[in-house]
Amino acid sequence: MASGRLTIDLDAIASNWRALDAMSAQGVQTGAVVKANGYGLDAGRVARALAAAGARRFFVAVAEEGAAVREALGPGPDISVFSGHMPGDTAMIHELGLIPMLNSLDQLTRHFESLPGHPFGIQIDSGMNRLGMEPAEWSAVRDIALDAGPRLIMSHLACADEPEHDMNPRQLAMFEEMTQGCDVPRSLAATGGILLGPDYHFDLTRPGIGLYGARPFEDAAPVVGLDLPVIQVRDLLRGESVGYGNTFVADHPLRVATVSGGYADGITRDLSNKGVLWDGDTPCPILGRVSMDLIGVDVSHLPTVPQDLTLIGPHQSVDDIADTTGTIGYEILTQLGHRYGRHYTRGRG
């Protein structure tokens, strides 16, 4: 095969959920965020593995994602939609039993008028200024919303991955103020919020990125591996270049492997001339630009050229790649492409 091999350990995802569930305060329910197609790993498979581990409440970004999770899980588990009740979503929300997290007066009105009695939640803005009702709007509709019996009131932390950031206690105080006296389950913490401690846990936590083996959950079990096949090997003379734009020129003889993978597969061009792949324990530098389908790699120091080289594995996580390229593990993970041969394993009990 000329496509890369992406290995996804479903038992590691389940193990990470159980670990984060154990970190949540006693009596707190632990949900699971499976948006963006399960962070790029297949929402259906991920949701089934999490449900088998004990998760009963799932969160997605948009109603269409909720449809895929409902198809995988069947009736029963709650599936909440962060974007709320958007125009055109009514039939899907009704037929699939999705729970929109209403973000505004407009959404509240739409939901109550089109689906009276249908379950819903409320999202409030505690300071992130992204989604949710701001304090004045929430104050205006609070009594009406609470009388209708929301399933959950939630907000989202902006800086939970920075434990010492003063935004965290400010948002905590705002969330407590806005929900004071509400006899409704509350949720503030995603993965980072769980790690901040029990003051942030309330009634339900919503781990996301930590399930998939990335920061800020430093103790997470690794979930993904990515191996790229070597298509061709060539010897370079001093002065010869590799790839588009001649951005790498050899100053001594080299052996270069061309591997199958590139930015069409979610391997960012920011790795050009500074990323590495691995042959077992041995790093192999990327030479030249990452192109759409191919990458040049220095294998001069290897005794034999392997059939494939590892981009994500024991020596290099999605967070390591993110550090090299100036981004975050979320972006590396969710950009993994569709051309890879995907192999789902149950490698961890």
pLDDT digits (tens, 9 = 90+) for 1-38: 679 999 999 999 999 999 999 999 999 999 999 999 99
All structural domains of the chain with their residue ranges? 31-211, 224-345
Burial class (CB in 10 A: 0-12, 13-18, 19+), 40: buried
Fold category of 31-211 in CATH: TIM Barrel (3.20.20)
pLDDT of residue 216 exceeding 60, the answer is yes
- According to DSSP, the β-strands at 308-312 and 224-236 are antiparallel
pLDDT of residue 277 exceeding 70, the answer is yes
244 is catalytic: yes
The CA-based angle 239-243-244, given to 5 degrees, is: 110
pLDDT of residue 348 exceeding 90, the answer is no
Mean pLDDT, the chain, as a whole number?
96
Burial class (CB in 10 A: 0-12, 13-18, 19+), 339: middle
- According to DSSP, the β-strands at 5-9 and 224-236 are antiparallel
Q: Judge whether 229 and 308 are in contact, CB under 8 Å.
A: yes
Structure tokens at 28: 């707190």
35 is catalytic: yes
Mean pLDDT for the stretch of residues 315-326: 97
The interaxial angle of helices 10-23 and 43-53, nearest 10 deg, is 50
Confidence of residue 347 (pLDDT cuts 50, 70, 90): low
Number of Cβ within 10 Å of residue 281's Cβ equals 7
Catalytic position from the list 35, 39, 212, 330: 35
Give the architecture (CATH level 2) of 224-345.
Answer: Beta Barrel (2.40)
pLDDT digits (tens, 9 = 90+) for 51-93: 999 999 999 999 999 999 999 999 999 999 999 999 999 999 9
* pLDDT computed for residue 223 by the predictor: 98
Q: Judge whether 202 and 28 are in contact, CB under 8 Å.
A: yes
Residue 113 contacts by C-beta under 8 Å, 6 or more apart in sequence?
none
The interaxial angle of helices 135-147 and 105-114, nearest 10 deg, is 20
The DSSP code for 104 is S
pLDDT of residue 349 exceeding 50, the answer is no
Q: Is 31 helix (H, G, I), strand (E, B) or coil?
A: coil
Catalytic position from the list 212, 244, 274, 330: 244
Confidence of residue 346 (pLDDT cuts 50, 70, 90): confident
